[in-house]
Each structure stands twice: as structure tokens, then as C-alpha cells.
Amino acid sequence: MTARLNLFGSELGGKFLKHLVSAGKIVTDSSLPTSLQELVSLRVSQINGCAMCIDIHTKHLAAEGEDAVRINLVAAWREATVYTEPERAALELAEQATRIADAAGGVPEDVWANAAKHYTEEELVALTALISLMNAMNRLNVTVQNPAGSYVIGQF
């Protein structure tokens, strides 16, 4: 499989991706735990069917020493006992924010309130920015059909 467009080889695509990566660096450098960032990124990518991002984030989690059970169960986190309450709150927020078109009114108040119990305002900013950024990256990759499987840590 080959991509419909080479975003990395395009002048405009390169500029756009550079800005997205810069925005991502702000989140990466936040106080939000790296493992949480990767779990949320993986879950958003699963919902959106972004194979390239699923490839990236599963490999990052594994490289960071995350337990394989936690990586494999993130798609069914509600029924899994391996996630903390703060992680569960973040995953619920990620799902609701990713599926805003499915529910009139956007993210429900109880979902936001639960996340706010576990995270500071700055961490909520980082979490919300991460979810938004992942949705943008997923939509780019799914639209141009970037293939998955060959990602190497540090490639981007």
C-alpha cells in the first residue's frame, strides 16, 4: 500500500506538519505523564482507524516499557482492570471528544467533571490539546492512506 499523497515531500504539507509537530512538542513537554499521553493517543487513533498512528503509539508504549496487557486492552479499557481512575477519566474524555459528532452537545459535563477531579487545569489543557491534535493527525493519515507497520521510534 502506498499513500495517496506524500505529505512529507510536499512543501505545503511539510510546513503544515512542522507546525503540528511543534504543537505536539508543547503537549509532550507538559506535566501530563508520557504513558498517559501515549495511551490517549492510541485510543483516539483506534477510534479513528488510523493504522499509522496506532503503529506509532503502540511502539512508543512498548519502548517505554509499558505492559503489553495495558497496550492490548486500551480498546476495551472500560472492561479492563489494569487502568487507574485518572487514566480511565482521560480515556473517557478522549473518546467523548473524538466522537463529538455522535452526541449533540459535545463532551458531557460528568465526563469533564471526572477528568477535572484527576488533573490540574494545565494538565486538562494539555489533555484537550493532545486529543485535538491526535484527531487532526488521524484525519490527515486516514485521508491520504498513510500505510502502517514500518514506523521506527524516532523516525519523525
Each domain of the chain, given as residue ranges in start order, spans 33-144
Which triple of cell numbers denotes residue 94?
A: 478522549
Using 50 as the pLDDT threshold, list the residues of the chain that sit under it.
none
CATH architecture designation of domain 33-144: Up-down Bundle (1.20)
Q: Which residues contact 128 (CB under 8 A, 6 or more apart)?
A: 93, 97
| pTM recorded for the entire structure | 0.94
Residue 1: the pLDDT is: 77
pLDDT value, residue 134: 97
Tell me, what's the pLDDT at 103? Answer: 76
pLDDT score for 102: 85
Can you give the chain as a three-state secondary structure string? CCCCCCCCCCHHHHHHHHHHHHHHHHHHCCCCCHHHHHHHHHHHHHHHCCHHHHHHHHHHHHHCCCCHHHHHHHHHHHHCCCCCHHHHHHHHHHHHHHCHHHCCCCCCHHHHHHHHHHCCHHHHHHHHHHHHHHHHHHHHHHHHCCCCCCCCCCCC
